[in-house]
Amino acid sequence: MRILSIETSCDETAVSVVEANGSFPHARYTVLGNALFSQIDIHREYGGVFPMLAKREHAKTLVPMLEKALREANMLTPDERTLSSAETSTLMEMLVREPGLGDTLISFLEQFGEPDIDLIAVTTGPGLEPALWVGINFARALATSWNVPVVPVNHMEGHVLSSIFDGETLPELAFPAISLLISGGHTELVLMKEWGTFERIGETRDDAVGEAFDKVARMLGLPYPGGPEIGKLAAEARAAGIETPVQLPRPMLDSDDFDFSFSGLKTAVRYAIEKKGADKLTREDRLGLARDFEESVTTVLLRKTMKAVEHHGAQTVIVGGGVSANSYIRESFVSLFREKYPMVTVYLPPRDLSTDNSIMIALAGHAEKDSAEAPSHLSTLAADGNLALGETSEK
Ligand code: KG4
Ligand code: ZN
């Protein structure tokens, strides 16, 4: 089956075409087309993601991404036709809240024939609701026009699948597995006893780890998104042997649970900067703070994940979400698990699938389609900004 997947939960507009041969999770996958537009440059000016701006950019970029993915998949066939006025008004009505998208979609549909797609997968949460809705309404419009079913996808489930996907297949996982999901909006430890079951055993009590990276970066005068910027400074500090000007805390390192807290760590960086005076902060100070911040985060993430592995006798660890692109976190997980728990297999996403993408949404859509529930009725699809893992939102 051929799956068209759509991701618009945050600041990436992504569309893919993935062919699945076989049933989930034993299928062989071929990525036929993959298009992604990152809005980072647009949001950078404002130092973060603004939901309404993200929404507008998604509406502008979805059709070009659809066209690019289909072209790459060799599924774009020129075919001039005129939509009936009934069809036009149905589509315009579905996209009434997404300015400009109705017109560009209709002009696309009048230029190109119906592609051979069996299923549309779309992210319905978690994420920024105005942004999610653009993808959902777009999926509904395409599904109506092409008469193809739609499945709602949980974005975080996508991240889990991203981490274990080797480009063609999904591995035979040894259960129980522990997933550590670290992104701009999430920090959680999830126990998976088998495919498709997700039990959250720990989470952040305040900031998500990616959010902390972004906020600390901002304090250090670095551009958005701050994660990769902090990573660069920290690596430079490590290579040059530069230490932190003040020791930062390791929050909740020994707490008797699987929870996290990063807002105190962020505040500790602010105090360190204020104590010295922001204008007197040397480059060395900034390097040292970036390094200690990254090491604090890594130490806490590792300690809590190891504790969860021991407590639940896990045989597999899956690290996913945008922050798992961080080199220091990646290397630390691999080397510490190899040393202390060599029987545990650690999965990390390939770097290009660490941050948001639509290939992971196609995989999760395939899982959803092969689960007990039938594809959704179009009218019940709904965005849910706070959607929990293991759930797909429907009205
Ligand atoms: O999963 P993602 O792309 O979007 C969400 O679903 O939130 O994650 C984005 C987050 C941002 O906070 C970004 O700063 C962080 O991932 N990030 C990183 C790195 N690359 C992205 N954090 C640390 N090191 C990185 N190399
Ligand atoms: Zn994400």
Q: Is the CB of 54 under 6 A from ligand 1?
A: no
Q: 92 CA distance to ligand 1 centroid (A)?
A: 35
Least confident span in 203-217, 236-250, 274-288, 368-382: 368-382
What pLDDT does residue 275 have?
A: 93
- For residue range 322-349, what is the model confidence (pLDDT) as tens digits? 999 999 999 999 999 999 999 999 999 9
The neighbouring-strand residues paired with 30 are: 19
Q: Which H/E stretch holds residue 363?
A: helix 359-370
Average pLDDT over residues 19-39: 97
The residue among 298, 345, 312, 344 whose CA lies nearest residue 191 is 312
Label residue 34 by pLDDT band (50, 70, 90). very high
What is the separation, in whole angstroms, between the first and last Cα of the chain? 27
* pLDDT for res 375: 59
d(Cα 141, Cα 231) in Å, to the nearest integer? 41
The CB of 184 under 6 Å from ligand 1? The reply is yes
**Confidence at 390, pLDDT banded by 50, 70, 90:** confident
Q: Given ligand 1 and candidates 180, 236, 355, which is best to mutate, with the most ligand atoms within 8 Å of its CB? A: 355
186 Cα: distance to centroid of ligand 2 (angstroms): 8
pLDDT at 307 over 60: yes
pLDDT at 361: 98
Q: What is the DSSP letter of 358?
A: S
Give 377 Cα–ligand 1 centroid separation in angstroms: 33
* Ligand 1 center to 321 CA (angstroms): 7
In this prediction, residue 216 has a pLDDT band, given cuts at 50, 70 and 90, of very high
Q: What pTM does this model have?
A: 0.95
Which residue's CA is the closest to the ligand 1 atom numbered 13? 227
> Residue 377 pLDDT more than 80?
no
What average pLDDT does the segment 289-299 reach? Answer: 98
Phi, psi (deg, nearest 5) at residue 251: -65, 135
H helix count then E strand count, the chain: 12, 10
Ligand 1 pocket residue status of 385, Cβ below 6 Å:
no
Give the mean pLDDT of 230-235. Answer: 98
Task: Give the separation between CA 72 and CA 332, rounded to whole angstroms.
Answer: 37
pLDDT more than 70, % of the chain? 98
Give the pLDDT of residue 393: 64
CA–CA separation, 363 and 170 (whole Å): 9
Is the CB of 126 inside a 6 Å radius of any atom of ligand 1?
A: no
Q: What's the confidence (pLDDT) of residue 376?
A: 67
What local confidence, expressed as pLDDT, does residue 370 receive?
79
Q: Is 214 in the pocket of ligand 1 (CB under 6 A)?
A: yes
Residue nearest to atom 23 of ligand 1 (CA): 227
Q: What would the pLDDT profile of 135-170 be if each residue is shown by its tens digit?
A: 999 999 999 999 999 999 999 999 999 999 999 999
Average pLDDT over residues 306-320: 98
Q: Is 228 in the pocket of ligand 1 (CB under 6 A)?
A: yes
* Cα(281) to centroid(ligand 2), Å: 33
Exposure string over 316-350, b if 16+ CB within 10 A, otherwise e? bbbbbbbbbbbebbbebbeebbeeebeebbbbbbe
- Any idea which residue has 């569309």 for tokens? 15
* pLDDT tens readout for residues 52-99: 999 999 999 999 999 999 999 999 999 988 999 999 999 999 999 999
The answer, yes or no, to whether residue 303 has pLDDT greater than 80, is: yes
> Rounded CA gap, 178 and 95, in Å?
40
Beta-carbon count within 10 A of 264 CB:
15
Asked if residue 185 has its Cβ within 6 Å of ligand 1, the reply is: yes
The predicted structure's pLDDT at residue 69: 98
- Cα 103 versus chain centre, distance: 29
Q: How far is the CA of 361 from the centre of ligand 1 (A)?
A: 17
Q: Give yes or no for residue 349 CB within 6 A of ligand 1.
A: no
Q: Atom 8 in ligand 1: which residue has the minimum CA distance?
A: 322
Q: Does the pLDDT at position 19 exceed 60?
A: yes
Q: How far is the CA of 121 from the centre of ligand 1 (A)?
A: 23
The bound ligand whose nearest atom lies closest to the alpha carbon of 324 is 1
